[in-house]
A and B are shown apart, each in its own frame.
Chain A
Amino acid sequence: MFARQPDLLADRDAVEIVVDGTTVVARAGDTVAAAMLATGLSCIRTTPVSGTPRGPFCMMGVCFDCLVTIDGHASQQGCLVKVAPGMRVDTQHGARPIVVTAKDWT
């Protein structure tokens, strides 16, 4: 598993996010995927096709294996989104739920 190496790092503000209902302390500047890996989590989703576990792989926005639900928005690339205080991150299992919200389009 991965972990933060504190003696390498300058101080940064702590940012609390909520991962699957549990508060996790990340650091300002972290991406969601890095923050999740830093907590020791390596599997962050299961695939829609076979349900097998996956974790962040490329960390640069091309592999789509770090897809998570962020503040209710499904299939976001965790490696491209920075953590923000109070951000709610949920792991995805299988296909994302397709939620249709009625909106005033006029």
Chain B
Amino acid sequence: MSIVDVAIVGAGPAGMAAATRCREFGLDTTLYDEQSGSGGQIYRGITRSPLIQPEVLGAEYWQGAPLVRALEKSGAVHVPDATVWSATANDAGIALGLAVGTPGRRTSSVVQARAVILATGAMERPFPVPGWTLPGVIGAGSAQILLKTAGVVPQGRTVLAGSGPLLWLLAWQYLRAGIAFAAMLDTTPRGRLAKALRHAPDFARSPYFAKGRELVRDVRRRANVIEYVTTLAIDGDRAARAVRYTVDGREHTIPVDQVMLHQGVVPDVNLAQAAGCVLAWSPAQACFAPVVDAWGGTAVAGLYVAGDGAGIAGALAAVPRGRLAALAVANALGRINHVTRDSMARRDRGELAVAMRGRAFLDALYRPADTFLLPSGSTLVCRCEEIDAQTIIDLARQGCAGPNQMKAFVRCGMGPCQGRFCGLTVNALIAREQQRDPADVGYYRLRFPVKPVTLEEMAAGPRTPEAIQAVERLEKTETDPM
């Protein structure tokens, strides 16, 4: 079994910054990531983007480059193509279940770390509208990844639909790359801007403000932006063929070849929650996030969560959040005393405060409309097990106690995605039907492995005494009921 001081999961901005900072204190640091390169999703492909015109993606994307360079120089070990599927606290710290490698050569092993920083980031919020599972319907973030990493773009008739900064960014990037789209359907409800305005003075001082305003103006000028869309459905048999939407009570249809959906991002909580972190409901962000202290510390000793995985605050905030977790780890492992920790943290906290400016504005403006969080009828809620909204609603009306009982009744959340794309919807539907607070309804109890790992991969791992002990048949004793 390999032993490290610090294991960091996720090589996005928080993970990269945390790893780099850990190395400044001489900690033996290993960074695991599922992708083949560092950058996470926000800076996906930054070291090897094949795009010849960097300006297509915008200057903000390239801000990730110094983070990657610092990481590369830091001496941290970066293990790509690595899936961490468990994290268990023990006397020596945290043991991580790890699967590394390409198909057929993937093996699983256990890594022992004295401390672990989870920087598992965010994923696109579920957008359960009719037809959201059809081929040709992808997330806006997904579309961005295709553009950044492979120059793969939509052809033919395209519609962007939803709300949130990332949807505007994708529209802007497509326009810069010369890719036309038929329409951008903005589902931001009427009145949201008015509600958000009380946070506007703060947002005006945000690093995102000038860029955001320019970007939205540019897209409005050059694209067909349709506002106040109140319903959305994608029709098609074997692939997306048309988008139906309602504005001012009138339904319209646009023929399409593909649709990019987006209504914000939410923390990917699976590994943190399965590891024992307590989740809390965020009313402002309408999602669950692990409860963390000012350093990213959690209910599990030795386990920290940094970046968007601990609540959405964006890439600029993820960097100081990663560094703060690293300071706490360095202090916990005896490399620095708390005086040094606190004095070094001052700069990071300043940077974090600047990066957080205007977050409340964005949260208020882009909180999805209830319609798009609460599907009905035959619209799929659980993509994996194909459980529709009516099934969930009926069981909730019959008194189903919560998401875990729902799971036991109909298998929602039990497919390979492990509830990532249905958990929030199941929570929202139960809360509405039973007139309960989403915080009270709660979330799935997530368990290891948080990503599928085969018995063959587990068996192919190193045969340590601990591993053999874990799977070998125990010697029969007098009390053995067998």
Contacts and interface: CB of A to CB of B under 8 A. Distances in A.
A1 B420 contact: no
A54 interface: yes
A64 B416 contact: yes
Interface residues of A, number: 51
Interface stretch (B48-56, B278-286, B400-408): B48-56
B138 interface: yes
Nearest to B40: A60
B36 interface: yes
Interface residues of B, number: 56
B311 interface: no
22 contacts: A1-B136, A2-B154, A3-B152, A5-B177, A7-B178, A8-B52, A9-B50, A9-B151, A10-B51, A34-B150, A34-B152, A44-B135, A53-B239, A55-B135, A56-B138, A61-B34, A61-B35, A62-B420, A70-B103, A71-B103, A73-B103, A80-B35
Contact of A62 (B36, B51, B151, B417): B417
A14 interface: no
Contacts of A82: 36, 102
B257 interface: yes
Interface stretch (B192-200, B216-224, B382-390, B440-448): B382-390
Interface in A16-72: 27, 29-31, 34-35, 37-38, 42-44, 47, 49-50, 52-65, 67, 70-72
Nearest to A46: B238
A81 B44 CA distance: 15
Given A1-B156, A58-B138, 11 more contacts: A1-B257, A10-B50, A34-B149, A42-B239, A44-B135, A59-B146, A62-B417, A63-B421, A64-B416, A71-B104, A81-B103
B104 A9 contact: no
B308 interface: no
For the complex of A and B, the 9 pairs showing the least CB-CB separation, nearest first, are A55-B135, A64-B416, A59-B142, A43-B135, A42-B135, A34-B150, A73-B103, A9-B151, A59-B145
B459 interface: yes
Contacts of A29: 48, 50, 149-150
Contacts of A67: 416
Contacts of B134: 53
A5 B385 CA distance: 35
Given A2-B258, A64-B416, A56 B152 contact: no
Contacts of B452: 64, 75
Given A31-B150, A57-B139, A50 B386 contact: yes
B155 A3 contact: yes
A49 B142 contact: no
Q: Looking at A4, A57, A75, which has the most chain B CB atoms within 10 Å of its CB?
A: A57
A75 B123 CA distance: 21
B135 A53 contact: yes
B268 interface: yes
B238 A53 contact: yes
A2 B123 contact: no
A29 B104 CA distance: 19
